[in-house]
Structure 1
Amino acid sequence: MGRVGPLILCCALAVGLVAAANPAAYAAPGRFSPGAPGAGDPYFPDMGNGGYDVGHYDIRLAFNPSTKAITATTTITARATQDLSRFDLDFQGPLTISRLSIDGRGAAYTRGGAQELVITPPDGLRKGRTFTVSVSYAGVPRKIDDPALGVSGWVATTDGAVALNQPIGAATYYPVNDTPNDKATYTQTVTVPRGLTVLANGEPGPVTTRGGQTTYRWHMNRPMASELSMIAIGDYDVTRGVTADGLQNITAIGRSIDTKPGQGKVLNQTTAQIIHWESTAYGRYPFDSTGGILADVGVHYALETQSRPVYDHKTSDVDGDLLAHELGHQWFGDSLTPTRWADIWLNEGFATYSEWLYQEKFNGTPVQQSFAEAYAGEEDWSGKVADPGRDHIFDDLVYTRGALTLQALRTTIGDDAFLRLLTLWPTTYRYGNVSTQTFIQFVERLTHRDLDGFFHTWLYQPGKPKL
């Protein structure tokens, strides 16, 4: 979870300095209690926090490409879900805080462990109260390189940086309640030297240039999990279009990438085509714009960042299959987000199944053929699809066996029920959090059948299921 940050007991305001020197100066009444330092996910016990619910993040950030440093202020609007004496945010790495306030008043804080920013407000926060936390900080963000899960967080590039936050990277560049269970809306305002481009989630606002610096504004007005937030800074060729359903479609390709002439237009048009097709299968697209970014970031994966996936150009093929997968995630994983990381097959199984549907629709390969080939392949059947373990959430077990489970379900309940499921499941729980148990109950209600045995075999029992 990154390196232990330095213990910081300073605040810019005098009241903050007093509190840091004497935390008891702001002791809350006895009935107030601290929020939990974790959100309770067994795979990532230190991620997320308890005691409050975030409504909005306002991230204002300036980037210096010569030093790779950022200077930023993040303001969080949240609501207390208990009587809070203190609470935590996730914030890690070498970034130094210069000021921290709650509703404009200086507050005491400490930093400890791998990622905990522990904040003690001047007065206890009553349950139901809405409050704002503003944190100003600066430094060079440090990416996370987890031995099992790979690189995430703020990744420096030759011409800027790209932030890819699944599963544990958001806290590398902004203070956050880093749990999929606390979705929020976002405003991201990023200032860079003139000539660089900034892309992020959602819809663009006005772009202004002054004194050699250009400021970009992006707004995500639909609930978003922190692991799906994104910023891309660099030299990009941006293509803008509109899908058949009238959605703003913004795609970009890094100019350092050697692409064929016209590839920007191809990426934009293929994205629009797939979004329109997937909307006919899964129901109305859940966000207000779409797109994608082909970046020279060197992480060797693509990521379903909300509304605008990022494709590392070092992935094997940025083709229709990959776009169908990442864009399918906009319904399954982004709009519908698992309650626990153990349930990530609900993301990756449906996204992989989107590839099979794409192959059937555009290349004439029946889904059942894709199923048969995957079933007969060199598949590792040793794990549990719905509980793969912390270090295996990105394994083929979750992706391919998740898709195999869906096709096996289709042959069990029939085409009519399954195709209704593809639309009703993401529509019913739009913008919410779901679990494997929620899915099982939903399917059983839809079909009026007891399917516990089927799901136990395909999701919870190691070994190759018999057909």
Structure 2
Amino acid sequence: MPRSVPVARAVAVLLVLALAACDGEVRRGVAGAAGVRDPYFPKAGNGGYDVTHYGLTVGYDPEARRLSGEAEITARAERDLSAFNLDLKGMDVESVEVAGEAARFSRGGGQEGQELTVRPRDDLDEGAVFTAVVRYSGSPETITDPDGSEEGWLRTADGALGLGEPTGSMAWFPGNHHPSDKATYDITVTVPEGLRAVSNGELRSEVTKRGRTSFAWHVGEPMASYVATVAVGEYEVRRSKGEGVPPVYTAVDPSQVKESRSVLARIPEVMKWAELNFGPYPFSSVGAIVEREDDAGYALETQNRPVFPGAPSVELLVHELAHQWYGNSVTPKTWRDMWLNEGFATYAEWLWAEDHGGDSAQDVFDALYRDAYYDTREASDAVWAFPPAKPPSAARISDSPVYQRGGMVLHKIRQSVGDDTFYDIVQGWAAAHRHGNADTADFTAYVEKKAPGVDFSGIWKDWLYGDGKPDRP
């Protein structure tokens, strides 16, 4: 017998109230979004809250390939929340607490399986600062990017290496893994005695007990999770403090010590040059981690101390250190804005060569531009495959247009405004968005504001957003 409409509505209301109730109280908050709708990685990050600090305590056994961890995440609710998500790929979650109370949790996210949904005992009010503690363990995964490169937790001959760009950090700790949500960090890593654990920031303590050593690292400036790192293994460590430069901490695999020594010794020189060109260094320490050549397929600008697979060249060192300003301090709002990282770091290489007896930036620009019309090599054609501000897919955000054509955009600006205004723009951009996030529209607006008498529309149209090759010179 069909129910009357009023009865059906009453039953529906009762069902909603029953599902929304927790311990007898009606839920008024909503669940935070499972992703921030990044144009290339829509499931990355989470909505409804802003993380301010991560306290990560992890132990790793390289022989068993097992990691155990506790993540204490301090965040601010940006709306009334009945539930929120964290990104965590793989691993077994043992318990979750929110505000000191046990919280219900579930795993999901389809084939990607990266969503950890947390339902606190009580709703979180908008504006409330809360702490979530996640205890987890397992064998961390290596993640294959859309472009085929590997990130996440990379096993090495004597330990492991955690690399996060663009989403790999979710392989070894739960969090809001999108560059738009930056936080400070405390990272404590415990490993078998005789190994070292190197991370970001400054080493606060090193304690050995019962055959295991704990290394406590502190990151006092905001950091995007994709530039967080942990490197476990045998390293030759060097510390130095020179006049006018931040403390330098390098960790080098024993097989790479000889080849790396002369280049790493130039870090203070590179830093002084970079500050002259880009403005004050935005962090409190600097350095490098050098692994074996086959431990990773690429270098990465992990905050404070970039990771290199094998001894780096001076040019690569310049590139990754320039990222500390452009990418790590001024961080893209979405992965569509990668050229703001790579275009600046590539142009830093050109400026370094220009200032140290190599080709000028103009020479490099002219060669790339000339090759667009007279060079039939595949590498030349690749530079013009798409505009730097519009990569066609997640698999292409690290392709050569983002790097080289991104650098060419900066050189076109320099040609248009002259060196004095150009360096005002480069340094001012780093200062205006220090420890923050910005996108391409922010950058073009900033450039136009700093040079109000210059028409940049052609540069934006032809070099930044335009398809194909710009007009023949």
Change in 2 beyond 3 A, CA 1:123/1:312: same
Give, as a single letter, the amino acid of the residue that structure 2 aligns with 1:49: N
Q: How does 1:250-265 map to 2 (within 5 A)?
A: 250-255=249-254, 257-260=255-258, 263=259, 265=261
Measure how far apart 1:412 and its partner are. 1.4
Match of 1:65 among 46, 62, 74: 62
Native 8 Å contact 2:28 2:123 kept in 1: no
How far does the alpha carbon of each residue in 1:36-66 deviate from its partner, in whole angstroms, 9 at most, with x for none? Answer: 1111211100000000000000110111121
Native 8 Å contact 2:54 2:185 kept in 1: yes
Distance in 2 separating the partners of 1:418 and 1:462: 25
Q: TM-score, normalised by structure 2?
A: 0.90
Report which stretch shifted further, 449-458 or 192-201. 449-458
Change in 2 beyond 3 A, CA 1:121/1:30: closer
Q: How does 1:235-250 map to 2 (within 5 A)?
A: 235-250=234-249
Give, as a single letter, the amino acid of the residue that structure 1 aligns with 2:458: G
Distance in 2 separating the partners of 1:23 and 1:187: 36
1:302 maps to which residue?
299
Q: How does 1:38-187 map to 2 (within 5 A)?
A: 38-93=35-90, 95-113=91-109, 114-187=113-186
1:202 maps to which residue?
201
Between structure 1 and structure 2, the one with the greater Rg is 2
Report which stretch shifted further, 450-459 or 180-189. 450-459
- Structure 1, unmatched stretches of 5+, are 1-21
Match of 2:271 among 271, 275, 279: 275
2:462 maps to which residue?
457
Measure how far apart 1:416 and its partner are. 1.6
2:282 maps to which residue?
286
1:14 maps to which residue?
none
Distance in 2 separating the partners of 1:409 and 1:37: 39
Measure how far apart 1:275 and its partner are. 1.2
2:233 maps to which residue?
234
Identical positions, percent = 40
Change in 2 beyond 3 A, CA 1:453/1:243: same
Distance in 1 separating the partners of 2:410 and 2:178: 27
Equivalent position SS for 1:189 = strand
Change in 2 beyond 3 A, CA 1:325/1:298: same
Number of residues paired by the alignment?
439
Off by >6 Å, runs of 4+ in structure 1: none
Equivalent position SS for 2:409 = helix
Native 8 Å contact 1:190 1:216 kept in 2: yes
How far does the alpha carbon of each residue in 1:301-356 deviate from its partner, in whole angstroms, 9 at most, with x for none? Answer: 1000011100011xxx7111100100000000000011111110000000000110
Give, as a single letter, the amino acid of the residue that structure 2 aligns with 1:309: P
How far does the alpha carbon of each residue in 1:83-103 deviate from its partner, in whole angstroms, 9 at most, with x for none? Answer: 00100000111x111111011
Distance in 1 separating the partners of 2:157 and 2:217: 23
Distance in 2 separating the partners of 1:27 and 1:148: 49
1:382 maps to which residue?
385
Give, as a single letter, the amino acid of the residue that structure 1 aligns with 2:348: S
Give, as a single letter, the amino acid of the residue that structure 2 aligns with 1:345: W
Distance in 2 separating the partners of 1:353 and 1:69: 41
Distance in 1 separating the partners of 2:25 and 2:242: 53
Distance in 2 separating the partners of 1:229 and 1:184: 11
Report which stretch shifted further, 281-290 or 405-414. 405-414
Distance in 1 separating the partners of 2:204 and 2:114: 32
Report which stretch shifted further, 291-300 or 431-440. 291-300
2:398 maps to which residue?
394
2:12 maps to which residue?
none
Q: CA RMSD, aligned part only?
A: 1.6
Distance in 2 separating the partners of 1:163 and 1:295: 12
Native 8 Å contact 2:48 2:84 kept in 1: yes
Native 8 Å contact 1:251 1:267 kept in 2: no
Change in 2 beyond 3 A, CA 1:162/1:28: farther
Distance in 2 separating the partners of 1:276 and 1:244: 10
Q: TM-score, normalised by structure 1?
A: 0.91
Q: How does 1:6-45 map to 2 (within 5 A)?
A: 25=22, 29-45=26-42
Equivalent position SS for 1:437 = helix
Change in 2 beyond 3 A, CA 1:322/1:106: same
Equivalent position SS for 1:294 = strand
Measure how far apart 1:384 and its partner are. 2.1
- Structure 2, unmatched stretches of 5+, are 1-18, 372-379
How far does the alpha carbon of each residue in 1:238-262 deviate from its partner, in whole angstroms, 9 at most, with x for none? Answer: 111124424110012111x2553xx
Give, as a single letter, the amino acid of the residue that structure 2 aligns with 1:88: N
1:361 maps to which residue?
355
Measure how far apart 1:264 and its partner are. 5.1
Match of 1:350 among 344, 348, 359: 344
Distance in 2 separating the partners of 1:338 and 1:181: 7
Native 8 Å contact 1:27 1:85 kept in 2: no
Equivalent position SS for 2:174 = coil
Distance in 2 separating the partners of 1:268 and 1:349: 24
2:440 maps to which residue?
436
1:319 aligns with 2:313: yes
Native 8 Å contact 1:26 1:121 kept in 2: no
Report which stretch shifted further, 374-383 or 128-137. 374-383
Distance in 2 separating the partners of 1:319 and 1:137: 39
